Amino acid sequence: MKFRQTALNLAMMTAMVSSPVLAQNKPTVYFIATGGTIAMKIDPVKNAPVPAISGEDLLATVPDIGKYATIQVNSLSNVPSDYMDPPRWIQLTNAVQAALDKPEVAGVIVSHGTDTLEETAFWLDLTVKSSKPVVLIGAQRNASSSDFDGPRNLLNAARIAVDSKSSDKGVMLAMNNQINSARYVTKTHTGNVETFNSGQFGIMGEAYPDRVMYAYTPVRRLHIPIVTGAMPQVDIVPMYGGADGASLRSAVDRGAKGTVVQALGMGNMNESMFEGVKYALSKQVPVVIATRVHNGRVLPNYGFAGGGKTTFDAGAVMADDLSPAKARIMLMLMLQSGVSSKSQLQAAFDR
Active-site residue, 116 included? no
List alpha helices for 101-143, DSSP H. 117-127
- On the 0-12 / 13-18 / 19+ scale of CB atoms within 10 A, 81 is buried
Query: Of the candidates 201, 262, 208, 267, which has an alpha carbon nearest to the alpha carbon of residue 236?
Result: 262
Residue 255 in contact with residue 233, Cβ under 8 Å? yes
Alpha carbon distances (Å) from 147 to 37, 64, 144, 150: 13, 18, 9, 9
Out of 6, 14, 34, 37, pick the active-site residue. 37
Query: Of the candidates 214, 154, 146, which has an alpha carbon nearest to the alpha carbon of residue 180?
Result: 214
C-alpha–C-alpha distance, residues 163 and 29, integer Å: 11
Residue 334 in contact with residue 327, Cβ under 8 Å? no
Query: Of the candidates 282, 277, 287, 283, which has an alpha carbon nearest to the alpha carbon of residue 328?
Result: 287
C-alpha–C-alpha distance, residues 180 and 193, integer Å: 14
Gyration radius (Cα) of the chain, Å: 23
What is the enclosing helix (H) or strand (E) of 75? strand 70-75
Q: Which residues are catalytic?
A: 37
